[in-house]
Structure 1
Amino acid sequence: MDQFYLENVARYHKLVNALDATPKPRVSTGEAGPSMVVSTRIRPLAEDESFPSAIFPRSTQQNVVDVHELYNHPSGIPILKSSDYEVDRLFTPESTTEQIYTNLVADLVPFAWNGGIGTLFAYGQTGSGKTFTVSRLERLVAETLTNGTLEGGKEISMTIIDLAGNAAFDLLNERKPVSLLEDASGVTQMVGVNEHKVHNKQEMADLIELATSFRRTAPTFKNDASSRSHAICRIRIQDPASNSDGLLYLIDLAGSESARDVAAHGADRMRETREINISLSVLKDCIRGKAEADALALSGRRKMPYIPFRQSALTRVLKHVFDPAGTRPCKTVVIACVNPSLADVGPSKNTLRFAEMLRVLVPVGEKDLDMEALVNWTNARVREWIVENSGSPPILPNVLAPRESGVQLLNLSSTEFEYRCQKCPGVKSAHARALRLKFWQLHNDSLQTGEASKELAVAPSAS
């Protein structure tokens, strides 16, 4: 297939250039859910790359990519097959990891600092830039946690494990085995893992380097040192004053492989790849299930979707991230990394399809949607309400809700909501708490009004 692409590069460029510059718009059925962002990063083509790019960010529609594949038609004349995919945020080959951090990950750090559970997953084909992205993000997280900009004296600890199938290894203790055992509360504990306290950015960077040196890798068709396991970096942020903690997970998932790579390495690699694919499939179901549960809970519905977190070691370790019965606030970010090369168009389409399936959209365009209901507010409406109701001294809307919609602001923990308020000049804890309670009272009132309206709508008329 590679030879077919190379022989038809000129025709490929001609077919792509002949396409309509303004393709039919992709119609979205809603907006991102309250607690999860699904993004895509398109890595740059390598300087020595012989193949053209097959992935094109759509200039006329934000967060949509077009994928153009060259198809060897039975007639003997190659043709284009095109498809498009939509995510919540899209990062082009020109985007830096620092920009990704600012747009995606920076919000997770104070969220975990204030008692929440923040989780980042990097997913994609081997050689698509996952490890490169996560490694840089880990160092930026370390800088934010230790540069003194976050308020309060807290203790930071790190654990990094390697998860291959059902086996776990401590990457900060010379790959010594770790037992994954369930306690009386049904929570999976990593027995035998070392948790290292850190005090500055350099200590965190040294631990990240140490973990990288013990990471399980193997040569593949696309990468001489492909990650053949899931690397889970857990940062625990403990507050001695309240005896509580927050958690931040940075997870570099095992790289997927194409069929040609499996064929080249035999039965062992096929078993390994099957285990990886099973764990990624279960992970997809768990991430999507948790996003659905969060959306349903905020709409006042009680029925929760089934979340199969017991079906793989990866999701058992992360049970408290997915468990709909959990009481701790959670936020999840997914970065789907893709290689734009035409030779990798198949795996890239699979990655983009995986990312699309993770998205749980909150309807915003239905005719019968009550735009006065708080859960349907846009960010602009949220900011307007903050200005009108924050009192004096004012709580700044760009500080409390820089990009959150109504449903996303509701999903903030009470600690983070009030922490953001108190970042505004002169705002004290009592003032912040009063605004939070007012916001929630408005939400409760809208739910009761909505239920009453439904009852009236279905009540039989008098005759």
Structure 2
Amino acid sequence: MEQFYLENIPKYHSLVGALDPCPKPRISKGVPGPNMVVSARIRPRPKNERFPSATFPRSNQENVLDIHDLYNHPRGIPILRSNNYEVDRLFHANSTTEEIYEDLVANLVPFAWDGGIGTLFAYGQTGSGKTFTVSRLEELVAETLMSGNLEGEREIYMTIIDLAGNAAFDLLSNREPISLLEDSSGNTQMVGAVEHQVFNMEDMRALIEQATPFRRTAPTLKNPTSSRSHAICRIRIWNGADCSDGSLYLIDLAGSEAARDVATHGADRMLETRQINVSLSVLKDCIRGKALADTVTSLDREKLGRKLPHIPFRQSALTRVLKHVFDPAGARACRTVVIACINPSLADVGPTKNTLRFAEMLRVLEPATNETSADRTSAIQWTNTQLREWIRANCGTPAILDRVVAPRESGAQLFKLSSIEIEYRCRQCPGVKLEQAKAFRCKLWQMYIVS
């Protein structure tokens, strides 16, 4: 197939150049939920790349990406096949990891600092830049945690493990095997993994560098150091004996492979690849199930008889470790960020489409509200515009900013957030203290109950 692409590069450029530069806009059927962000990052093309780019971000829709593939038609005439995909955030080849951090990850750090659970997954084809992205994000997280700019005193602990199939290893103890066991509360514990307390930026950087050589890798036709396991960096933030610990999970998933990458694999490598694919499929089902559960309020279940979706977290070691992230009955506030890393090359167009399909399947959209409809009597039916008007009228002093508390949520979406999340958003406004945030949250809920 690669030879076919190389022989028809001029034809490909001609077909792409003949396309409408402003394609018909893609119409979303809803709005993203507040606790899940699905993004895609396009890797820069190497200087010695022989193949043209198959990825074309739209200029008129910033989060939509067109993929143009060249099809070898049986009649012998190459034709163009196009697909488009939409994510919540799209980062171009010239976007830096620092920009991704500020847009997606920076808010996870104070969120976990205040007792929440923040999780980041990097997913994609082998050689698409997952490890490069996560490694730099780990450094930026460490800088933020150790900057001294976060309010209050905390103790910070790090654990870094590796999951290969159903086996688990501690990367900070020379890859010693550990056990994944359920405690009496139903939570999965990493028995045998050493938790290291860190006191400064140098400690965190040293632990990250110590774990890197023990990561399970193997050469493929695409990447000489392809990740063959899932690396999980857990940062636990101890907030005192009477408070729940906050957690940050930074996860570099094993690289998926194209058919040409597995063609030379032996039996052991084929089994390894199958285990990776199974764990990624279960992860997709768990993330999507949790996002679906977040869209079903208790009011929905009572009025419509809807049940929470089944989340198959027991089917994979990866999802067993992260059970508390996916549990729809859990009381902990959670936020999840997914970064789908893709190669722009025409030779990688198949894996790129698979990665973007995976990303789209994780997006669970809530029905968009019609802001021109009749006046609403219930706060849960408010549009984002109506909700922000109420916040401006009841913001207090110093002002609680409507664009911070409800940047895009409707009334139904906001009232599904936990009290921790609402207070956290209030405290992101300049000068707002915990007492004012709690008072505002109580006033908000009182208004909701009365309406």
Q: TM-score range by the shorter chain?
A: over 0.9
* Deviation of 1:111 (Å): 1.1
1:389 to 387, 394, 401: 394
Asked whether the 8 Å contact 2:111–2:424 carries over to 1, the reply is no
Question: Using a 3 Å threshold, how does the CA distance of structure 1 residues 193 and 310 change in structure 2: closer, same or farther?
Answer: same
Q: Distance in 2 between matches of 1:375 and 1:13?
A: 51
SS in 2 for 1:31: strand
Asked whether the 8 Å contact 1:329–1:411 carries over to 2, the reply is no
Question: Using a 3 Å threshold, how does the CA distance of structure 1 residues 98 and 354 change in structure 2: closer, same or farther?
Answer: same
What pairs up with 1:345-424 in 2 under 5 angstroms?
345-365=349-369, 372=376, 374-375=379-380, 379-401=384-406, 406-407=411-412, 409-424=414-429
SS in 1 for 2:338: strand
Question: Does 1:440 find its partner at 2:441?
Answer: no
Q: Deviations over 1:286-319 (max 9, x none)?
A: 0000011111026542621111111111101100
Asked whether the 8 Å contact 1:364–1:376 carries over to 2, the reply is no
Residue 344 of structure 1 is matched in structure 2 by 348
* Deviation of 1:67 (Å): 0.4
Aligned partner letter, 1:364 = A
Residue 457 of structure 1 is matched in structure 2 by none
SS in 2 for 1:232: strand
What pairs up with 1:8-407 in 2 under 5 angstroms?
8-240=8-240, 242-297=242-297, 300-301=300-301, 303-365=307-369, 372=376, 374-375=379-380, 379-401=384-406, 406-407=411-412
Count of residue pairs brought into register by the alignment? 446
SS in 2 for 1:123: strand
Q: Distance in 1 between matches of 2:243 and 2:86?
A: 42
* Deviation of 1:395 (Å): 1.9
Question: Using a 3 Å threshold, how does the CA distance of structure 1 residues 225 and 291 change in structure 2: closer, same or farther?
Answer: same
SS in 1 for 2:32: coil
Question: Using a 3 Å threshold, how does the CA distance of structure 1 residues 344 and 412 change in structure 2: closer, same or farther?
Answer: same
Asked whether the 8 Å contact 2:115–2:244 carries over to 1, the reply is yes
Q: Deviations over 1:330-382 (max 9, x none)?
A: 11110011001000000000000000011100001569988845456555544
Question: Using a 3 Å threshold, how does the CA distance of structure 1 residues 425 and 183 change in structure 2: closer, same or farther?
Answer: closer
Asked whether the 8 Å contact 1:382–1:406 carries over to 2, the reply is yes
Q: Deviations over 1:64-98 (max 9, x none)?
A: 11000000111111110001111111111111111
Aligned partner letter, 1:439 = L
Asked whether the 8 Å contact 2:97–2:137 carries over to 1, the reply is yes
Identity %, equivalent residues: 70
Question: Using a 3 Å threshold, how does the CA distance of structure 1 residues 53 and 147 change in structure 2: closer, same or farther?
Answer: same
RMSD after superposition:
2.1
Q: Deviations over 1:404-455 (max 9, x none)?
A: 5545544544234334434545544333212111222333445xxxxxxxxx
Q: Deviations over 1:94-138 (max 9, x none)?
A: 111111111111111111111111111100000011001100111
Q: Distance in 2 between matches of 1:407 and 1:48?
A: 51
Q: Distance in 1 between matches of 2:98 and 2:383?
A: 27
Aligned partner letter, 1:266 = G
Asked whether the 8 Å contact 1:112–1:118 carries over to 2, the reply is yes
Asked whether the 8 Å contact 1:120–1:332 carries over to 2, the reply is yes
Aligned partner letter, 1:333 = V
Q: Structure 1: where are the runs of 5+ without partners?
A: 447-463
Which stretch shifts more, 432-441 or 392-401? 392-401
Q: Please, what TM-score do these two structures have when normalized by structure 1?
A: 0.91
Asked whether the 8 Å contact 1:34–1:407 carries over to 2, the reply is no
Q: Distance in 2 between matches of 1:375 and 1:62?
A: 30
Which stretch shifts more, 374-383 or 269-278? 374-383
Q: Distance in 2 between matches of 1:245 and 1:292?
A: 26
* Deviation of 1:26 (Å): 1.2
Q: Distance in 2 between matches of 1:14 and 1:267?
A: 43
Q: Deviations over 1:229-278 (max 9, x none)?
A: 00001110011263431111010000001111111122222111110011
Asked whether the 8 Å contact 1:386–1:395 carries over to 2, the reply is yes
SS in 2 for 1:59: coil
Asked whether the 8 Å contact 2:297–2:416 carries over to 1, the reply is no
Q: Structure 2: where are the runs of 5+ without partners?
A: none
SS in 2 for 1:74: coil
Q: Please, what TM-score do these two structures have when normalized by structure 2?
A: 0.94
Q: Distance in 1 between matches of 2:375 and 2:171?
A: 50
Residue 461 of structure 1 is matched in structure 2 by none
